[in-house]
Amino acid sequence: SLFKPKLVTPLPFSTYVSRIYLMKLKEDDDACREALRSGNLMLFHKLAPLVRRNKHGVCQSPRITTPVEQILEKLGQDKQLVNEAVLMSSTESNEPQFCLDVDLQQNGMEMLCGGVFMDIRKAFLMLRTPDASMVAKGQALLRWHQTHGFCSATGHPTVRNQSGSQRVCPNSGITYYPQMAPVVMALVSDGSRCLLARQSTFPPGMYSALAGFCDVETMEEALRRELAEEVGLEVETLQYSASQHWPFPQTSFLVACHATISPDKTELSVDKAELEDARWFSLEEIQAALQMKTPPLNRRSELPGFWVPPAVAVARRLIQEWADQQQ
Ligand SMILES: NC(=O)C1=CN([C@@H]2O[C@H](COP(=O)(O)OP(=O)(O)OC[C@H]3O[C@@H](n4cnc5c(N)ncnc54)[C@H](OP(=O)(O)O)[C@@H]3O)[C@@H](O)[C@H]2O)C=CC1
Ligand SMILES: [Mg+2]
């Protein structure tokens, strides 16, 4: 078959079993409301996450542990707003974690919380990967609630549970759950080179692995279709590497794979409507790009002609794995 499963995918040490009780908060509104009083919050303003530098200059997404009711009261706002928080998960130290979007008094909020609300694209380049992932998750949940206030069958307002894990239409009885759009991403290799491409919206010089949204189809079908459409290549094998939730343009679920094609059918036919450029890169070019810090701005804020995405992007993991496999 097309798909060659990876036999062993080592996962980092997990505390999921001890954290499972927190998932009960999803179903128990009272327990969830109680947890919200003591749990920590990740704040957003119009979906821009709060970001702060710690004393070492490292950018972080701070968890607000001062009761948000107090902050809201100080700003003269209705403290019930805190009940709009959504349960995200639990932290590594077993505390429930929530996110909340406040569309009010940006400056006052920033002063009281000691940070700035930053566009998520910028925040993604400054935060470390675990914080960036949490920010992406919080934004996705909050955006989903903001855009699913009405039942798409009856037009009636939907009602959320306290944790925000679902919304129900009291009229039709339909339950809605937060969703992601599945995307398949592949780093294609012809045996000695790998294929990277850029869209005109990427920062100048950045090339990444190919990706495309799945229609109602399998991942294998989506990958074959995308590669045929975008670069005119026929896939031979596919190997799963990792997955990632990605906030651009909105909540996608990226499934990242390595793909191979036959070394005698490597000619590209690039769809210029989708891609600005697609090229084969040698191991030497890839290794040089992996050495650069990202984004690789020099003193005059110029970007080099070729660089690869930062560590927060699963595409970089694919590129690193490919380079490691060539040694
Ligand atoms: N993490 C990483 O390293 C990388 C991530 N990506 C991500 O992968 C995803 C897909 O990549 P991309 O090449 O743009 O995808 P596609 O190749 O599928 O092209 C995008 C087009 O697909 C259509 N489309 C179909 N379904 C959707 C949907 N659910 N949401 C939005 N557009 C849809 C839109 O066309 P139309 O407007 O005509 O309807 C859109 O312009 C994006 O989220 C991108 O940010 C991509 C590269 C690297
Ligand atoms: Mg694409």
Residues 224 and 281 in one domain: yes
Domain count of the fold of the chain? 2
Q: Is residue 35 part of a domain?
A: yes
Domain termination site, one of 113, 136, 152: 152
Tens-digit pLDDT profile for residues 281-323: 999 999 999 999 887 777 777 888 899 999 999 999 999 999 9
Q: What is the pLDDT of residue 37?
A: 82
Residues 45 and 83 in one domain: yes
Residues 221 and 306 in one domain: yes
Look at ligand 1, atom 10, and give the residue with the nearest C-alpha.
212
What percent of the chain shows pLDDT beyond 70? 92
- The range of the structural domain enclosing residue 57 comes to 16-152
- Name all contacts of 214-223 with Cβ < 8 Å and 24+ positions apart: 214/181, 214/182, 214/183, 214/184, 219/182, 219/184, 219/255, 219/257, 220/2, 220/3, 222/182, 222/184, 223/184, 223/186, 223/257, 223/259
Residues 212 and 120 in one domain: no
**Which residues neighbour ligand 2 (ion) by CB within 5 Å?**
212
DSSP for residue 165: S
Domain termination site, one of 152, 167, 193: 152
ipTM of predicted assembly, 2 dp: 0.95
Residues 127 and 189 in one domain: no
Q: Per residue of the chain (327 residues), what is the pLDDT tens digit? A: 566 656 566 666 666 666 676 778 888 999 899 888 877 889 999 999 999 988 888 889 988 877 778 888 888 888 888 899 999 976 666 678 899 998 888 888 898 888 999 999 999 888 998 899 999 999 999 999 999 999 999 999 999 999 999 999 999 999 999 999 999 999 999 999 999 999 999 999 999 999 999 999 999 999 999 999 999 999 999 999 999 999 998 999 999 999 999 889 999 999 999 999 999 999 999 999 999 988 777 777 788 889 999 999 999 999 999 999 998
Cα of 231 from ligand 2 centre, angstroms: 10
Ligand 1 pocket residue status of 313, Cβ below 6 Å: yes
Q: Is residue 170 part of a domain?
A: no
Residues 194 and 274 in one domain: yes
Ligand 1 pocket residue status of 241, Cβ below 6 Å: no
Q: Which of 129, 185, 194, 213 to mutate to test the pocket of ligand 1 (most atoms within 8 A of CB)?
A: 213
Look at ligand 1, atom 6, and give the residue with the nearest C-alpha.
211
Q: What is the pLDDT of residue 103?
A: 85
